[in-house]
Structure 1
Amino acid sequence: MTQISRRTFALGTVAATTLAACGNGIGGAGAAVIDSRVDSTLNHMYATYPGTRDLANKASGMLVMPVITQAGLGVGGSFGRGALRIGETTVDYYSAASASAGLQVGGQQFSSVLFFMTPEALTDFRRASGWAVGANVEYALNDTGESLRAETTTSLAPVIAVVFAQAGFRAGATIEGTKYTRIIP
């Protein structure tokens, strides 16, 4: 196993952050822009995976991240901005960020929606100063595009993640290890 120097880590982090900034509104995305992107993302998800509408109707809230950009070359990272919706109303805005190190190369963008299936899961998320995705998240959809119906997913899971609309060259698209932080756009 090779050692990663601080300089290599710093350069990789800067490069990954710069690449991750492309196309997801860093620095210029106000509330109206984020809300517009969230609406478009939800419309695309509902049209492509009709069963997600039922899932949304059963959820206590949804965190919609229209574009998360991942990039890496040895070290990598991801970034995106989105909105927490309860019903049809945006109640907060969040950023999603992660960092990684290891054998990796490439970049990609994807959309994700976290469905908070219990009021407790939603409350825990909103009370946290920074919430990291962990083992309590059930992935309901992968990049093969299989159909999703609310009754076929584990309804007891407190949080269900739907990852879709991947574009780019990188192995896998996950949100595991991503930290979500409340922002003011």
Structure 2
Amino acid sequence: MTILTRRTLAFGLAAAALTACGNGIGSQGPNKIDARVDATLDELYTNYPGTLSLRDKSVGQLVMPLVTEAGLGLGGAYGRGALRVGGATVDYYSTTKASAGLQIGAQQYAHVLFFMTEESLTSFRRAPGWAAGANMEYAYPEGGSTLAAETTTSMAPVIAVIFGQAGLRVGATLEGVKYTRIIP
């Protein structure tokens, strides 16, 4: 008879989270990431036309086409994407997220960080690993609707738009997100 301990459960969840991180982008090189970034931006601008004004006002966008997130008590997320400046890819990044608290479930989503100032973009590019902080505003567009006026006129240096959620994850957690430059 096997006894399920907390340590066994934690290791099992960690293994499941790492397995879930194979989110389809893999290490197939920059061409694959760029193709997914193009498709993600097309979907964003087509389904949420209010984001066009964010694009036009921003100095750069970090596009994460697919982030996979799972949690049961402890959780994590992973995704890969590209930083676009002037419509061209200038670097590739990964995002990792850790969370702890009352949570259960898994989901996948896309997100785009719009850098609204040169200073925020420069700070992001110079950092060895950049953590999302209080200077970022989140926007969650509802199906087919545009972003609220306060989001598109916000003075926040970075605006994150999260969309295309699939799956279900519920709970109350403490979370941390980190973006790191990668070589695909």
Q: Distance in 2 between matches of 1:133 and 1:145?
A: 27
- Read off the aligned partner of 1:81 and give its amino acid letter: R
Q: TM-score, normalised by structure 1?
A: 0.87
- Read off the aligned partner of 1:52 and give its amino acid letter: T
- Read off the aligned partner of 1:135 and give its amino acid letter: A
Q: Distance in 2 between matches of 1:76 and 1:152?
A: 29
Q: Distance in 1 between matches of 2:140 and 2:94?
A: 22
The Cα offsets for residues 123-154 of structure 1, whole Å up to 9 and x where unpaired, read as: 00000000011111111224566412677534
> Pairwise CA RMSD of aligned residues?
2.2
Pair 1:25 & 2:25 matched? yes
1:117 Cα deviation after fit: 0.2
- Read off the aligned partner of 2:84 and give its amino acid letter: R
Corresponding residue number in structure 1 for 2:14: 13
Residue 150 and residue 115 in structure 1: after superposition, are their counterparts in 2 closer, same or farther (change >3 A)?
A: farther
Structure 1 stretches of 4+ with a deviation exceeding 6 A read none
Q: TM-score, normalised by structure 2?
A: 0.87
- Read off the aligned partner of 1:155 and give its amino acid letter: S
Q: Distance in 2 between matches of 1:51 and 1:109?
A: 22
Q: Distance in 2 between matches of 1:73 and 1:50?
A: 35
**How many residue pairs end up in the alignment?**
178
Residue 179 and residue 17 in structure 1: after superposition, are their counterparts in 2 closer, same or farther (change >3 A)?
A: same
- Read off the aligned partner of 1:60 and give its amino acid letter: V
Tell me the percent identity.
59
The Cα offsets for residues 93-133 of structure 1, whole Å up to 9 and x where unpaired, read as: 00000112222211110000000000000000000000011
Q: Distance in 1 between matches of 2:161 and 2:151?
A: 14
The Cα offsets for residues 63-113 of structure 1, whole Å up to 9 and x where unpaired, read as: 000000001122211000000000110000000001122222111100000
- Unaligned stretches of 5+ residues in structure 2: none
Corresponding residue number in structure 1 for 2:146: 147
- Read off the aligned partner of 1:38 and give its amino acid letter: V
Q: Distance in 1 between matches of 2:149 and 2:59?
A: 14
- Unaligned stretches of 5+ residues in structure 1: none
Residue 55 and residue 107 in structure 1: after superposition, are their counterparts in 2 closer, same or farther (change >3 A)?
A: same
Larger Rg: 2
